[in-house]
Amino acid sequence: MRKLIHFLCLGLITFMLPLSVLGQFERKVSVYAFVGGDGFSGNLNRNLTERPQNMFAKYHPAPAVGVAAFYALDGHLSVGGSLKAFLTSKTASRLFQSSIGADIKYNILPSDKKISPYVIGEINLSFNSIKQNNYVEDITPPNGANSSNTVQITDYKVQYTAFNLIFIPAFGTFFGGGLDVKLKETLHFFGQVGYNSSFIKGNSLLKNVYASNNSNLSFLNISVGVRLNLFQKKTFY
């Protein structure tokens, strides 16, 4: 959690310094800060005697933080960038991802209305750190699985070998939608749901330590946050 807090503070400083200068001239800049959670697939995609083919399944729900900045092109369309991070774990494994993204946002109603639904898309570059400890998994198959008239196999042992990968890069996409709620002229609340895919399965470093994986890192994100108009925004209407 401390790593997530440090990441959020660094992101705020990185975005706000240059944008404070830009905003003096254009007055169309908004800064976002948000928290939320990421949920991962429960489908391991495995044969009983082998390691899962989806190494990213069954991670615990992850706390996530992020910051973003957008420049309004008009009352509906904005472009910007974001910084996000999450940290999660499961038995004998830990996963941390930080990412930087280029975003486009379209408010279906004008963005300065009291309530404005929107859709958002993003292309991102993530850096993924995965730590796996040595671990032996005991698996008991369902009744009747892999049995014959003379032999009943009741238990398997699957070996996981330790590795530690740091900042493995992967390109990805994020698509979602949400709702902006205007609290006052300079302050909005928003809620958002989206789906992220990081295309990491072909990475050679990952293949070297976990050859059986054939899945990308994908997750559902739910976030809430605030949008701050740093400078009085010009009306477009």
| Percentage of residues in the chain having pLDDT higher than 90 | 66
Report how far residue 147's alpha carbon sits from residue 43's, in angstroms, rounded to the nearest whole number: 24
What pLDDT score was predicted for residue 21?
43
What pLDDT score was predicted for residue 9?
56
Report how far residue 191's alpha carbon sits from residue 105's, in angstroms, rounded to the nearest whole number: 14
What pLDDT score was predicted for residue 4?
58
Q: For 104-120, how does the pLDDT look when each residue is reduced to its tens digit (9 = 90+)?
A: 999 999 988 999 999 99
What pLDDT score was predicted for residue 220?
98
Report how far residue 124's alpha carbon sits from residue 170's, in angstroms, rounded to the nearest whole number: 8
Residue 24 has pLDDT above 50, yes or no: no
Segment 184-188 mean pLDDT: 91
Report how far residue 99's alpha carbon sits from residue 203's, in angstroms, rounded to the nearest whole number: 17
136 closest CA partner among 160, 156, 153: 160
Segment 122-126 mean pLDDT: 98
Measured in whole angstroms, the distance separating CA 58 from the mean position of its chain's CA atoms is 15
Range scoring the smallest mean pLDDT among 52-66, 95-109, 129-143:
129-143
Segment 199-213 mean pLDDT: 94
158 closest CA partner among 65, 26, 53: 53
pTM: 0.82
Cβ–Cβ under 8 Å, residues 190 and 167: no
Residue 219 has pLDDT above 60, yes or no: yes
Sketch out the chain's domains with CATH numbers. 2-229 (2.40.160.20)
Calculate the average pLDDT of the chain: 86
Q: For 140-167, how does the pLDDT look when each residue is reduced to its tens digit (9 = 90+)?
A: 776 655 555 545 556 778 888 899 999 9
